[in-house]
Chain A
């Protein structure tokens, strides 16, 4: 028996190792597949194959035979497989439907616009059926489908910003207190109590925000719309606090006690040691906590759906009702026509959300490594 027996020496360990490797691979695969699925649904939109114009050019159903199959397919907006499955009669029927639609189509200038084009998604437009000015409008249901994403993006950013501004200082202060200053008994009570917040279902949190928090905050600040970005942000903050607290507390606790002792021996107070030595030493972990908090805030749906007032108003004011990307998907996907432009737009914003979270985490990771390197004296 030589020493070079490789994996035959401990077959069980080898098997277990490979199994765990496979499981972790599955996790990566799942994330990838989810993204592929979401992005695939949005793809025709990105490639410019969708047309949401209410009035489109019409070819009389009688003239179907004059069209080449390829032309007919594009005209009806079908995919190649769908086209193959339909017989001549069905195609004829579809063409008649198109003719009927055209008769009822609105006659104004916007009816012929394909509102799924990029410029209508991101740039303001002067719509024929609203005030005569360039506006950002999200109105997917109606005579003309207006899919401007800017109000939703602003809505998501507004609530997220409020949530982070509210929760991060509180969560970090709590983490610093619990990990550095609190007595062991106090810590034993406080830590589970704060972490229990993460166990509150977000629908309950949303309900609380809707019924209690909204009235209370309106009474305290006296603004007009009862449900707005501010209320949603504060409620969202309650969901973010345990996430940030938990990770920041771990990071602060794992800072070697030797640092604190050295600071105390130099005559620092407990508070000075915590604030000036421990917090900077835990910077990478604390930063990771904030990034994760951001992910939670921008991805949270139910709280925002219930507490934000859900009106897609283009406004930077925190005290106007607002609507986030996530709430829009949740509220509208069920009633969007499968495979239609509205449906695809919702998948597009879903994919956008995915990309934003992914990029944030990536950037967060890079910055974290930088901070870590600097602390350990590797980077300049």
Chain B
């Protein structure tokens, strides 16, 4: 339990030669059922530390569902049943002594549709910090500025920190959500199609940001945009009908995939 109760995150600095990163998330034979329907079938994969891992696949293939397993957001749906094991930093996240709140503090999430709270920009970023016990105004101010800078939003909003977040543009809102997520210093950042509702310029900014955040965070991103996966990710997993078809280095998936299905999908023959 020690791993989840400490607020200070300890990162393993060692980097294997093959570029896969030290394994941080390992999933073994994960099956997920919505009532009687099976959404994930026997998923086994390992996600490396400080790498960007992209999940691709056609709609309904289970990639978002799988992503939401990592911070146990599927708990919110009553009919969901999960078998198999998911370990984060060696700790089984479904073990009964795991505190979901500590888990979610370690694993931040950015959603498909930007969802800033109807509060001020400042309060949006400060919310998670306050939630985890930061009280002093000066600490909050510093942390908020740091997070906004981290999300490349500071210069655009520094003069209106206390106006409503809903007054920002779509791209700014999404970067605010990223700032909010990184404010509590998670180890892992889950991103569920973070740029799918944005225009190309805002998308480019988010992608730039993801590449910058990679130095500090382990990022898992679900995307529909294959060019995006190719541009930003180190590893790519291709899902189809609830199964993990192929998981490999991004360059390999896009240039020389092992499976026929993967090739068809990445070349746009179906999907």
- Chain A residues within 8 Å of B, Cβ to Cβ: 183-184, 256, 258-259, 261-269, 272, 276-277, 280-281, 374-378, 380
* Binary A-proximity of B153-188 (CB < 8 A = 1, otherwise 0): 000000000011111100000000100110010000
Distance in angstroms from B181 CB to nearest chain A CB is 7
Chain A CB count within 10 A is highest, among B102, B117, B132, B164, for B117
- A262-B117, A267-B184 given; name 12 further pairs at CB < 8 Å: A256-B115, A258-B113, A261-B73, A262-B116, A266-B105, A267-B101, A267-B104, A267-B128, A280-B119, A376-B164, A376-B166, A377-B118
Give complex CA distance A9, B126 in Å: 56
B113 touches A263 (CB 8 A): no
Interface residue? B37 (CB, 8 A): no
Distance in angstroms from A273 CB to nearest chain B CB is 10
Smallest CB-CB separation from A184: which chain B residue? B78
What are 18 inter-chain pairs, A to B, with CB distance below 8 A?
A184-B78, A258-B115, A259-B118, A262-B117, A262-B177, A263-B127, A264-B73, A265-B181, A266-B104, A266-B105, A266-B108, A267-B104, A267-B105, A280-B119, A281-B117, A374-B164, A375-B166, A378-B164
For B223, list chain A residues within 8 Å (CB): none
Distance in angstroms from B147 CB to nearest chain A CB is 12
For A258, list chain B residues within 8 Å (CB): 111, 113, 115
Give complex CA distance A267, B166 in Å: 22
Contact with A265, one of B78, B108, B116, B163 (Cβ below 8 angstroms): B108
Interface residue? B201 (CB, 8 A): no
Smallest CB-CB separation from B110: which chain A residue? A265
For B177, list chain A residues within 8 Å (CB): 262
Task: Tally chain B residues at the interface, Cβ within 8 Å.
Answer: 31
Contact with B104, one of A183, A264, A280 (Cβ below 8 angstroms): A264
Contact with A377, one of B76, B166, B184 (Cβ below 8 angstroms): B166
Give complex CA distance A280, B168 in Å: 19
For A262, list chain B residues within 8 Å (CB): 111, 115-117, 177, 180
Interface residue? B109 (CB, 8 A): yes
For A375, list chain B residues within 8 Å (CB): 118, 164, 166
Give complex CA distance A262, B78 in Å: 18
For B76, list chain A residues within 8 Å (CB): 261, 264
Chain B CB count within 10 A is highest, among A256, A264, A267, A277, for A267
For B163, list chain A residues within 8 Å (CB): 377, 380
For B101, list chain A residues within 8 Å (CB): 267-269
For A377, list chain B residues within 8 Å (CB): 118, 163-168
Interface residue? B71 (CB, 8 A): yes
Interface residue? B2 (CB, 8 A): no
